[in-house]
Structure 1
Amino acid sequence: MHELGIAQSIVEAVLDAVDGPRITRLELQIGKLSGVVADALRFCFDLVTEGTALQGARLDIVEVPGRGDCRACGASFELEDLIVLCACGSADVQIGSGQELRIAAVDVE
């Protein structure tokens, strides 16, 4: 479960960047194509925040849809998974979004 390592890295990054007594909310943007399982990340987040300024913080996860642009025909379309194939039959697709894992907002007390 790589979500544990991801949760630890997120917590470390937030604690390094934010000098506050208590963090009440953290918002993450997670791309649909990132391979991160949101429920597993929530579970791990609760474990790794114990005893830190993030303990008890609300974790809001915003899913970023996958988008692709076909280099063959120029079509832009939504991607559901990493099996990338345009309706025109081309696999020459540039992934534009959906692979993100970003800390979008942090609320402090």
Structure 2
Amino acid sequence: MHELSVCQALLEQVATVAKSHRAQSVSRIVLRIGPLSGVEPQLLQAAFPLARGGTFAATAELVIEDLPIRVKCEQCGAETDATANRLLCGRCGDWHTRLLSGDELLLASVELLEAEEACATPVAAT
């Protein structure tokens, strides 16, 4: 289960963001994950509570947004949705396509609690 290692690397990035904003802690982390990223969202959710203990994000919520697989057809030029096992053009059906999206693992946002707000409501980092 490499998702635990992914969580640990994610939390290192989140700690860098929190420190640069002088935050007390992190309340929410939003990830965007494509089906071709090599990461299983359910396993990432399961590993997150194990990895976050003792970090800036010890009580943070992890939100995962799914991204679609998009391809561009080299034959007709169309940009269409595709599925993991069928990276075909949705318009003409040709298999000569280029992947536009679907392999991402992106840190979309981090909501921080500032020192004086540690007992208050979370604020979004800008």
Q: TM-score, structure 1 length as denominator?
A: 0.90
Looking at both structures, which has the greater relative contact order when contacts are Cα pairs under 8 Å and sequence separation is at least 6? 1
Measured against aligned partners, the alpha-carbon deviations of 1:46-96 in whole angstroms (never above 9, x if no partner) come to: 111011110110111111111001101222211220542235343221111
Distance 2:18 2:55 in 1: 12
Q: Equivalent of 2:84, from 62, 67, 81?
A: 81
1:39 has 2:37 as partner: no
Write the mapping of 1:1-109 to structure 2, written as runs, cut at 5 A: 1-19=1-19, 20-86=23-89, 88-109=92-113
> Residues 85 and 91 of structure 1 are in contact (CA less than 8 Å); yes or no, is this contact kept in structure 2?
yes
Provide the alpha-carbon RMSD of the alignment: 1.4
> Residues 29 and 104 of structure 1 are in contact (CA less than 8 Å); yes or no, is this contact kept in structure 2?
yes
Q: TM-score, structure 2 length as denominator?
A: 0.79
> Residues 33 and 82 of structure 1 are in contact (CA less than 8 Å); yes or no, is this contact kept in structure 2?
no
Aligned length: 109
Q: Unpaired segments of 5 or more residues in structure 2? A: 114-126
* One-letter code aligned to 1:76: E
Identity of aligned residues (%): 36
Q: Unpaired segments of 5 or more residues in structure 1? A: none
> Looking at CA atoms only, which structure, 1 or 2, has the larger radius of gyration?
2
Moved over 6 A (4+): none
SS at match of 1:21: strand
